[in-house]
């Protein structure tokens, strides 16, 4: 992958176009094993993505004009450059491209300002450190703006009234960053200065868009298949987990129909950056189709490289949470199946949180066998955890028909369990109503239903009854509305049976 | 090898299927020396010729067998010999070779199984030889499980499918899943035979099905067994009578059929099958009887509200620890005792997949408790100076007090009403709740159906209304009424 070996003729066209057809660059062999002069040339700043960076940049460039410059460099600058490229100084979270750009900027600034000889290069922080510092500053700024507009409040448009109850009910799933116990990984605002490497969302000014597009095209040319095959003719078919070489952060999901090509698979350190990017994008754009697609390709890359570690766990956890929030049960279930196996093999993660979801999920799908398995997975310590305890109580309340208890549990769900409970709460309301209509005579106040079945207001409770053709059961008497339970007969029983029959099983294995 | 083929010829001449199968049984623990000598009597260069000689040219003991069929048997013994080498190596009995993996044992045995199947499809093997299929299936399953266990979770093999995610189950049970496919082949081989019943391979079908069930349960995909049952019931018309199959196969099949229904919450169906299995089961097979009862007891609890008597459980100490405490709590209407018993046995219950079913016994316990409240309410004067009748208007507060005492924890009135509503909804109690006035109005006739609480003082009840009969069972001996004994006031 290094330029030193990249001398076959086939590389030349690509290289030439990359260098804007500057004829001075064509005598490739001269540069063999040497640095890349253009890293210090301002006009290449925007390209910023040399796939094959030079091993050491300090050697004298072959180009005359460059030589001129070189003469101007004091030795201290040269050793500074050398230090920057030493592998022991590389930082995992700062890419080489970023570092190079920063280095160039630093030196050209020194040159322009005429402080080339006065700067203390020995104590000057290395460019990668500068990048980090800059990121931290950016992070601070970003935090400040985000305080103003948090898009992460759970949309609650279905609940109309009583805002106090609303917040009470959902306090644990509001994902507020201030709550460390429920902190969600994808909210953390770590690395944010990757925007120069990614495609931009629509709505940015056309100029920067064009530039990004150009850069992308250039990269594409560089990565074309012919080019690759030329360099390493007929790679042997992979016999083990492959190691990816792709450095694009984003990748569209495509189902595999043939063994994966390493050139299209991203290695783990790139995937780490991808995850950070996706978290950021999700926060910013909240575009589920995009995010789901990207996460699927991310998972695929992990699978084909057989990466199973805490990073894998966090990828699945984050995707599971996003899918939950968007009600995409299919994806959610795929993630939870993986998570179960990953936790079982001893990899750390938020096992408690997801074991609780798992129980709630199987309650929703009425899968008794799986529910039994989920309980079998619990350790004695697990059963003492609040989230799991809650899920088990929900299960037991439903098993015994204790709707009173069930709806109390519904009002206080840990983590994001409320998204799951929302899915079967309607069904359980119908069951409870069927129950009440058989047991109570002749009537009771509507308010009793509102309270027992955790409606937010009498109006909502009444609406629910009317939606199920029960308007004739509501009678106004004195100042309150009365529910004629004794007259309901089979109305809610039928509705209950219907609702329990229709369990959405998509994604169920 | 010579001796093995001699045994084969003897079994073949007498059409003794079981003896024939014995020549293909690698029973290492009991037969190591003999198996070693069979393995050592051949070598990879000459084994094929040796077999050919034994089957075709050896005039001393010619068999009445077409050359085609003889070819089939040759191939089988060749595969058997090779598999034996792997088995002995995996068991560490072959000094000359390093230990191989159980995966290669499985592969070798699978090859043997394929050869046997081919014998039926291509070489016209007769149906008395099907015990060979049994042996092949039985050991294939065992080797598959050993192969999976040996590989454990460190399956570093190449991802052969193009899945986006790992498939944890597949990785854990790779061999066993493959085994299930092979067993399915055996199943279909038996099923699809169109020969008249007397010569049909259909006689092998329940053995194959039982192996399949076992495998599916182990794979945690019991639901797949449903497909087998569906196919079976579709072809039931051309099948020999179920009763004419060996009893051991009937018991196993009925047991699995019952457990499958149980897992689908079809308790009545489950009870039917399990009862049959129970009745057919050999009295000495304690372990099997224990297994059957493990599911039959929860079934009874839900379908007929009956509990096992001490006598029924006497021979099964394991079941006693499992169920007695729970049964006592239910009978006494002891909510806290029930909760404790359920919690103590939870791990075991969950493991046997009966936890969720037993939990519903709480309803019966609660009902017995409420009934006590009703009885404690005593009688009031009847209308117009008639006989005294039971008090049927009972304040919710009285029930609440009982539930608090029995459950050992506080509970608010709304929740008590909810529990009462449930009792009424499930027909365990008859009557209605008058919410606004805060009491329950119980039915004058049989407020608690099935227990013979009589509405009028001094009335006697008939025995038949009390005991719920259970067809074919000496119910009074084996199953006790789950409801507390009738109060006569």
**Bond into B172 cis (ω within 30):** no
Assembly ipTM: 0.79
pLDDT score for B279: 93
Mutate to test the interface with A, among B422, B427, B430, B439 (most CBs of A within 10 A): B422
Which CATH code of 3.40.50, 2.60.40, 1.10.760, 1.10.10 fits the domain covering A427-501?
A: 1.10.10
Query: Of B153, B356, B418, which has the smallest distance from its Cβ to A402's Cβ?
Result: B418
Q: What is the DSSP string of A90-155?
A: --TTS-HHHHHHHHHHHHHHHHHHT-TTTS-TTTSPPHHHHHHHHHHHHHHHHHHHHHH--TTSPP
**B338 pLDDT higher than 60:** yes
Percent of chain B scoring above 90 in pLDDT: 40
pLDDT score for B52: 82
* β-pair type (B389-390, B393-395): unpaired
Structure tokens at A469: 């053709």
- Are B255 and B213 a contacting pair, CB within 8 Å? no
Q: Do B433 and A296 touch (CB under 8 A)?
A: no
Check if B314 contacts A (Cβ < 8 Å): no
pLDDT score for B392: 86
Same topology, domains A171-220+239-421 and A427-501? Answer is no
* β-pair type (A480-483, B379-380): unpaired
| Closest residue on chain A to B357 (Cα) | A399
Q: Do B356 and A368 touch (CB under 8 A)?
A: yes
Mutate to test the interface with B, among A256, A404, A445 (most CBs of B within 10 A): A404
Query: Considering only A472-476, B23-27, B53-57, which range has the smallest mean pLDDT?
Result: B53-57
> Stretch B247-263: mean pLDDT, rounded?
93
- Are A253 and A293 a contacting pair, CB within 8 Å? yes
Collapsing DSSP to helix, strand or coil, B263 comes out as helix
pLDDT score for B479: 62
Q: Do B359 and A396 touch (CB under 8 A)?
A: yes
- From chain B residues 384-423, the ones with a CB under 8 A of any chain A CB are 414-415, 417-422
Q: What is the pLDDT of residues B151-170, one digit of tens each?
A: 865 544 444 456 677 766 66
Q: What is the pLDDT of residues B398-432, one digit of tens each?
A: 999 999 999 888 899 999 999 999 999 998 999 99
pLDDT score for B470: 34
pLDDT score for A406: 96
Give the residue from B294, B265, B263, B264 showing the smallest Cα distance to B277.
Answer: B294
Q: Give the architecture-level CATH label for domain A171-220+239-421.
A: Alpha Horseshoe (1.25)
Domain boundaries, chain A: 32-144, 171-220+239-421, 427-501
The H-or-E segment that residue A424 falls in is helix A417-439
What is the full per-residue pLDDT of chain A (509 aa) written as tens digits? 444 444 344 434 444 344 344 444 434 444 444 444 443 444 444 444 444 444 444 444 444 444 444 456 677 777 877 877 777 777 777 777 777 787 787 777 777 776 777 777 777 777 777 777 777 777 776 665 555 444 444 444 444 333 443 333 333 333 333 344 443 444 444 444 454 555 555 444 555 556 666 766 666 665 554 444 444 444 445 456 778 888 888 888 888 888 888 888 999 999 999 999 999 999 999 899 999 999 999 999 998 888 889 999 999 999 999 999 998 999 999 999 999 989 988 899 999 999 999 999 999 988 888 899 899 989 999 999 999 999 999 999 999 899 999 999 999 999 999 999 999 999 999 999 999 999 998 889 999 999 999 999 999 999 999 999 989 999 888 888 999 888 887 889 888 888 877 654 443 43
Residues 6+ apart with CB under 8 A from A149: none
User: B118 vs B56, B68, B75, B122, B180, CA distance in Å?
Assistant: 20, 12, 10, 5, 18
Query: Considering only A143-147, B124-128, B289-293, which range has the smallest mean pLDDT?
Result: A143-147
Percent of chain B scoring above 70 in pLDDT: 86
How many CA atoms, within 13 angstroms, populate the side-chain half-sphere of residue A20? 8
B225: closest CA of chain A, how far (Å): 14
């Amino acid at each position: 992958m290094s330029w030193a070996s990249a001398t076959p003729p086939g590389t030349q066209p690509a290289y030439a176009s990359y260098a804007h057809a500057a004829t001075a660059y064509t005598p490739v062999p001269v540069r063999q094993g040497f640095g890349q002069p253009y890293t210090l040339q301002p006009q290449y700043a925007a390209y910023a993505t040399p796939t094959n960076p030079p091993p050491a940049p300090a050697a004298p460039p072959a180009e005359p004009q460059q030589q001129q410059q070189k003469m101007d460099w004091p030795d201290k600058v040269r050793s500074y450059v050398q230090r920057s490229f030493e592998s022991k100084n590389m930082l995992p979270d700062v890419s080489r491209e970023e570092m190079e750009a920063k280095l160039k900027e630093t030196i050209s600034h020194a040159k322009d300002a005429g402080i080339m000889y006065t700067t203390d290069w020995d104590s000057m922080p290395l460019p990668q450190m500068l990048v980090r510092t800059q990121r931290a500053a950016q992070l601070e700024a970003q935090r400040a703006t985000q305080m103003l507009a948090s898009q992460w409040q759970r949309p609650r448009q279905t609940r109309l009234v009583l805002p106090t109850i609303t917040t009470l009910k959902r306090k644990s799933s509001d994902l507020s960053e201030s709550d460390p116990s429920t902190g969600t990984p994808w909210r953390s605002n770590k690395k944010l200065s990757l925007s120069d490497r990614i495609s931009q969302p629509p709505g940015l000014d056309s100029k920067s868009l064009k530039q990004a597009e150009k850069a992308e095209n250039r990269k594409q040319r560089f990565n074309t298949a012919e080019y690759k095959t030329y360099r390493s003719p007929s790679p042997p078919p992979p016999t083990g987990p492959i190691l990816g070489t792709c450095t694009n952060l984003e990748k569209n999901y495509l189902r595999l129909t043939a063994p994966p090509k390493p050139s299209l698979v991203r290695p783990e350190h790139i995937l780490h950056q991808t995850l950070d990017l996706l978290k950021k994008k999700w926060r910013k754009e909240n575009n589920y189709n995009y995010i789901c697609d990207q996460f699927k390709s991310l998972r695929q890359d992990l699978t084909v490289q057989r990466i199973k570690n805490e990073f894998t766990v966090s990828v699945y956890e984050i995707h599971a949470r996003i899918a939950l929030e968007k009600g995409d049960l299919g994806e959610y279930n795929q993630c939870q199946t993986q998570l179960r196996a990953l936790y079982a093999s001893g990899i750390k993660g938020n096992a408690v949180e997801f074991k609780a979801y798992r129980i709630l999920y199987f309650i929703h799908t009425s899968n008794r066998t799986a529910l039994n398995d989920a309980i079998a997975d619990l350790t004695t310590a697990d059963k003492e955890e609040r989230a799991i305890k809650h899920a088990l109580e929900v299960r037991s309340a439903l098993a015994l028909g204790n709707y009173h208890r069930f709806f109390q549990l519904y009002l206080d769900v840990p983590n994001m369990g409320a998204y799951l409970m929302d899915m079967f709460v309607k069904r359980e309301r119908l069951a409870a109503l069927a129950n009440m209509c058989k047991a109570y005579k002749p009537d009771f106040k509507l308010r009793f239903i509102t309270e027992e079945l955790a409606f937010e207001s009498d109006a909502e409770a009444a609406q629910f009854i009317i939606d199920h053709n029960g308007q004739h059961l509501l009678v106004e008497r004195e100042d309150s509305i009365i529910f004629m339970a004794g007259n309901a007969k089979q109305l809610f029983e039928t509705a209950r049976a219907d609702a329990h029959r229709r369990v959405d099983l998509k994604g169920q294995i | 090898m010579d001796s093995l083929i001699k045994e084969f010829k003897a079994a073949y001449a007498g059409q003794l299927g079981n003896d024939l199968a014995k020549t293909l049984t690698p029973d290492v623990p009991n037969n190591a020396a003999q198996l070693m000598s069979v393995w050592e009597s051949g070598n990879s260069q000459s084994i094929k010729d040796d077999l050919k000689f034994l089957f075709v040219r050896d005039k001393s003991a010619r068999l009445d067998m077409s050359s085609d069929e003889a070819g089939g048997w040759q191939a089988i013994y060749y595969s058997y010999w090779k598999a034996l080498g792997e088995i002995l190596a995996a068991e560490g009995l072959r000094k000359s070779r390093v230990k191989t993996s159980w995966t290669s044992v499985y592969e070798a045995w699978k090859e043997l199984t394929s050869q046997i199947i081919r014998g039926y499809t291509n070489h016209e093997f007769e149906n008395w030889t099907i015990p060979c299929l049994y042996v092949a299936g039985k050991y294939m399953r065992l080797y598959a499980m050993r192969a999976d266990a040996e590989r454990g979770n460190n399956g570093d093999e190449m991802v052969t499918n193009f899945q986006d995610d790992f498939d944890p189950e597949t990785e854990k049970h790779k061999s066993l899943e493959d085994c299930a496919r092979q067993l399915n082949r055996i199943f279909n081989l038996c099923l699809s035979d169109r020969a008249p019943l007397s010569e049909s391979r259909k006689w092998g079908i329940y053995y194959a099905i039982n192996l399949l069930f076992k495998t599916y349960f182990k794979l945690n995909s019991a639901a797949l067994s449903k497909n087998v049952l569906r196919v079976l019931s579709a072809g039931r018309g051309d099948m020999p009578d179920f009763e004419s199959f060996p009893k051991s196969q009937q018991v196993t099949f009925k047991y699995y059929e019952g457990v499958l229904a149980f897992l689908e919450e079809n308790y009545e169906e489950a009870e039917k099958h399990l009862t049959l299995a129970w009745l057919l089961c050999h009295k000495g097979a304690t372990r099997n009887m224990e297994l059957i009862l493990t599911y039959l007891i929860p079934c009874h609890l839900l379908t007929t509200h009956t509990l096992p008597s001490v006598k029924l459980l006497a021979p099964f100490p394991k079941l006693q620890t499992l169920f007695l405490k729970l049964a006592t709590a239910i009978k006494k209407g002891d909510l806290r005792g029930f909760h404790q018993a359920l919690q103590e046995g939870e791990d075991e219950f969950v493991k046997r997949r009966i936890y969720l079913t037993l939990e519903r016994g709480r309803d019966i316990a609660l009902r017995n408790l409420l009934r006590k409240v009703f009885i404690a309410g005593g009688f009031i004067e009847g209308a117009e100076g008639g006989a005294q009748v039971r008090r049927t208007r009972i304040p919710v507060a009285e029930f609440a007090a009982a539930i608090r005492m029995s459950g050992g924890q506080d509970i608010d009135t709304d929740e008590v009403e909810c529990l009462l509503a449930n009792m009424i909804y499930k027909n365990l109690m008859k009557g209605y709740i008058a919410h606004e006035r805060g009491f329950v109005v119980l039915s004058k006739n049989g407020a608690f159906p099935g227990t013979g609480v009589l509405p009028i003082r001094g009335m006697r009840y008939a025995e038949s209304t009390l005991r719920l009969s259970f067809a074919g069972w000496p119910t009074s001996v084996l199953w006790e009424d789950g409801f507390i004994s009738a109060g006569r006031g």
